[in-house]
Amino acid sequence: MTATTRMLVVKPDDGSGTTGNGGGTSSNLPTVTEAADALAAALQSPIGYLFLDRTRIRPTGFAVGEHVFALSLAPGEEVTLEQKTYSKKTITYEEESQREQEEDLEFSSSLTTEMQEGVQRQRNLSTSQGFTAGGSLGGNIYGIDINASASTSNNITEANNETLSRSVKTTSTASAKTASKYRTQHKVDFKISTEVGFESTSRRVVRNPNRFTPIQLHYFKVLRTIELTQERYGVRLCWAVCVKGPGFSFAERIRKGRVDIVKAAESAVTLPPAPAEPAKAGRPPLFATSAPPVEANKWGWTCDMSANYDVSINAPNGYVWDGDAQRVKDSVMITSVNRASDSFGFHVVGEPWVEGTTVKVKVHVGAGSKWGGCGSLFITAGANFIADPNAQDADYQKRYAEWVTAMADWKTKVAGLTADARAAGVKQADEWEAAMRAGFNPMVELMNAVVQQHFPPVVRDQCWEIEYWRTLFDWENAAFVLYPGWWSDLPAIDATKATTDFVNASWATVYIPIAIKSEKPALRWIYGHSIGASLGQAVEAALDNVVKDITAYRTKSFGDVAETQINPGADCSDLKDQTLCLARWNEVVPTDGTHLEVVQSMTTAADALSDAENADAAMLRAAVIDSHKQDAQVKKTAVTQMTGAATIDVRVGTDGTPTT
């Protein structure tokens, strides 16, 4: 399948009649700047033509292939010939993400003599090689791979012409490579021996019937001739939606889930009570928070974020931090303004530390892309403080020293219990993360991003609205292309995975086909976010031209607007499959059969005695044949002399007297 990006630029006519660089220029050739601007506009266009192509494979006959084996037999020699046919088998490890959100890890064995599977495998190989250079293919539409390319066209006819050669070249190259590969890898071995194995064997006894003349048997491969036809059977308008950092939401859910699981495991542990802090009348322990809150404002140009912030907590006068680092971590929170709580996340980096009388903690904040304003995020944290023991009397200092010792013992016990609980929680988190990644569906993540970016909650809060969007776009057949993480300046979300992995991808383009006969309302929503309201005379006229263009192309190329020719007035009319034939070519692939040619030797092994025996045998055979010919002639003559039925007299007697 090939997709051509169509540039749709809606500009009202100002009536000046000027074109190009000005009304006075006589040159029709675009300048370098104009060409660059046109390409940029085409790449930015959210609408493209999606052509549906398929390859039809028909067997047309057989042909004799290359010579594989020769066997010489002496006069009268007999040999048992065992033919073993091998087909190359490949074991593939396949990770498949089903739409039902299940992952199959399957070891499969396939015969390489299947042309259709081979062509598809060659296409996949070409796609993988292209991925290393720029992007990865993440899906298919209508069960066919999609190849996206940036090119401009003014209408669907130009787009059709541009994709013709590209579609044919892609498939013919794949089939040629596949057929050539098969002709090289297919093996037919002949052995004059008897072996027991798992191969498909055919055992035959071959004998040279000649007494004096040797023969030679020549075996050739039998090739199957197939005809491949590249056909175009449909076209769709396609909405191309760009998503920045497609793996951020999934990675953030994994991070939050792990934190919650570990916290739950730690909270389930029953800890011994902490020793009571010594206090002096009027100086109880205090809990202080950071003031003012720290604003997280290191936004990217699409309102995304991945940055660290230091939050300071000042100790009250006469107080010092009690050293409870976990209390500081648990107190960190973020208050959001004009931003959904599920669009950002945070976690504490390292351990809190003290600078003078101030407690500090480092917080990492991450946020996904957001359109229509970044909003505001404010970070706060707190810590427990106790009265400064250096400012108390001797009795208090003694009680404080005892409390410090008891507190150290308590922290040791708590640390041990917490470490065990954390280890169990980490194990549970690992198992949960493995299950999440096993059932991970990239398309679901991307569809969620598309809905969040382009469909406000107000247009999807009722059932009929959801049904409307479902019928307007063909969501089930959407596909996507990933762009590696090296295009982004941000650090990798998951450093353990490659930059080409979904989680670390910098961008993704989602291709969503528009349903047939739904082009006008879909375009109105894409360009104006309008369901029923007009977008203005100029814009509506441009949208009507697009719909008229594709409707005329479907009717001309595929029979009718729905690309299915059915006569509603006839009783059970036949369905006509009208397609555009782009190209037709032939390929040959091997089979398991062989062709035998027998060549008799020009020399013999007969000596003088054998020649004499042959001459005598020939004379005897000639005499026998001549005798048979004479017998036949006598019989023919006797038949011609017969004029009636013969009379036969039989006489029987015992005494010598004849009896009639």
The length of the chain is 660
What is the average per-residue pLDDT within 76-95?
67
Determine contact, residues 363/347, Cβ cutoff 8 Å: yes
Residue 150 has pLDDT above 50, yes or no: no
* Tokens (6 digits) for 657: 């007297």
What is the average per-residue pLDDT within 586-595?
85
- d(Cα 609, Cα 78) in Å, to the nearest integer? 24
What amino acid occupies position 416? G
H or E segment to which residue 416 belongs: helix 394-438
What is the average per-residue pLDDT within 143-148?
48
| Per-residue pLDDT, 379 | 93
Of 502, 509, 366, 505, give the one whose Cα is nearest residue 440: 502
Residue 293 has pLDDT above 70, yes or no: yes
Percent of the chain scoring above 70 in pLDDT: 72
* Tokens (6 digits) for 88: 């190359």
Exposed e or buried b for every residue in 212-241, given b needs 16+ CB within 10 A?
Answer: bbbbebebbbbbbebebbbbbbbbbbbbbb
Peptide bond into 292 cis (omega under 30): yes
Residue 63 has pLDDT above 80, yes or no: yes
CA dihedral 584, 587, 591, 594 (to 10 degrees): 120
pLDDT in tens, 151-201: 445 556 666 665 655 666 666 666 655 554 444 444 555 555 544 445 677
DSSP 8-state symbol, 70: E
- d(Cα 557, Cα 625) in Å, to the nearest integer? 74
User: Tokens 């970070």 — which residue?
Assistant: 379
pLDDT band at 36 (very low <50, low <70, confident <90, very high): low
Question: What sign has the CA pseudo-torsion 179, 181, 184, 190?
Answer: negative
Of 286, 230, 234, 257, give the one whose Cα is nearest residue 52: 234
DSSP 8-state symbol, 396: H
What is the average per-residue pLDDT within 428-455?
89
Other CB atoms within 10 Å distance of the CB of residue 528: 15
User: Tokens 């038949």 — which residue?
Assistant: 639
- Residues with Cβ within 8 Å of 414's Cβ and at least 6 positions away in sequence, in order, are 271, 272
Of 655 and 91, more confident: 655
* Tokens (6 digits) for 165: 């050669």
pLDDT band at 15 (very low <50, low <70, confident <90, very high): very low
Determine contact, residues 470/519, Cβ cutoff 8 Å: no
Residue 19 has pLDDT above 50, yes or no: no
| Per-residue pLDDT, 331 | 92
pLDDT in tens, 416-427: 888 899 999 999
User: What are phi and psi for residue 407, nearest 5 degrees?
Assistant: -65, -35
| Per-residue pLDDT, 78 | 87
What amino acid occupies position 318? G
Percent of the chain scoring above 90 in pLDDT: 12
Exposed e or buried b for every residue in 168-194, given b needs 16+ CB within 10 A?
Answer: bebbbebbebbbebbbeebebeeeeee
Of 602 and 347, more confident: 347
| Per-residue pLDDT, 96 | 45
The partner residues of 587 in beta bridges, in order of sequence, read: 226
DSSP string, 491-512: PPS-TTS-TTSTTT-SEEEEEE
Q: Report helix, strand or coil for 367.
A: strand
* Tokens (6 digits) for 127: 């796609």
* Tokens (6 digits) for 187: 């093996």
Supply the pTM of this predicted model. 0.56
User: What are phi and psi for residue 147, nearest 5 degrees?
Assistant: -115, 110
- d(Cα 140, Cα 6) in Å, to the nearest integer? 20
What is the average per-residue pLDDT within 385-391?
77
pLDDT band at 105 (very low <50, low <70, confident <90, very high): very low
Other CB atoms within 10 Å distance of the CB of residue 34: 12
Exposed e or buried b for every residue in 580-610, given b needs 16+ CB within 10 A?
Answer: bebeeeebbbbbbebbeeeeebeebeeeeee
pLDDT band at 109 (very low <50, low <70, confident <90, very high): very low
pLDDT, averaged across the chain:
76
* Tokens (6 digits) for 384: 């427990």
Of 147 and 549, more confident: 549
pLDDT band at 75 (very low <50, low <70, confident <90, very high): confident
User: What are phi and psi for residue 116, nearest 5 degrees?
Assistant: -65, -45
3-state helix, strand, coil in the chain (%, to 5): 35, 30, 35
pLDDT in tens, 637-648: 877 777 777 677
- d(Cα 478, Cα 451) in Å, to the nearest integer? 13
Which alpha helices (H) appear in 65-211, and where do they start and end? Answer: 115-131, 156-185
Residue 558 has pLDDT above 80, yes or no: yes
- d(Cα 148, Cα 37) in Å, to the nearest integer? 20
Of 260, 85, 101, 281, give the one whose Cα is nearest residue 187: 85
Q: Report helix, strand or coil for 355.
A: strand
What is the average per-residue pLDDT within 298-322?
88
Start-to-end CA span in the chain (Å): 104
DSSP 8-state symbol, 280: B
* Tokens (6 digits) for 372: 């229509």
- d(Cα 345, Cα 372) in Å, to the nearest integer? 19
Of 611 and 239, more confident: 239
| Per-residue pLDDT, 333 | 92
> How large is the greatest C-alpha to C-alpha distance in the chain, in angstroms?
177
pLDDT in tens, 507-536: 999 999 999 888 888 988 888 888 878 888
Q: How far is CA 624 from CA 357, 614, 620, in A?
A: 133, 15, 6
Of 93 and 488, more confident: 488
Of 170 and 328, more confident: 328
| Per-residue pLDDT, 566 | 67
CA dihedral 317, 319, 324, 326 (to 10 degrees): -20
User: Tokens 């020939």 — which residue?
Assistant: 618
Determine contact, residues 345/297, Cβ cutoff 8 Å: no
User: Tokens 């020293």 — which residue?
Assistant: 401
Residue 360 has pLDDT above 90, yes or no: yes
DSSP 8-state symbol, 33: H
| Per-residue pLDDT, 378 | 93
- d(Cα 386, Cα 501) in Å, to the nearest integer? 49
* SS3 sequence of 583-619: EEEEEEEEEEEEEEEEEECCCCCCCHHHHHHHHHHHH
What is the average per-residue pLDDT within 361-389?
87
H or E segment to which residue 386 belongs: strand 382-387
Kindly report which listed range (483-492, 543-552, 602-611) carries the lowest average pLDDT score: 602-611
Q: Where are the domains of the chain?
A: 241-246+442-557, 248-438
Q: How far is CA 123 from CA 55, 86, 161, 169, 500, in A?
A: 12, 25, 22, 12, 20
pLDDT in tens, 112-140: 444 455 455 445 544 443 333 334 444 44
pLDDT band at 26 (very low <50, low <70, confident <90, very high): very low
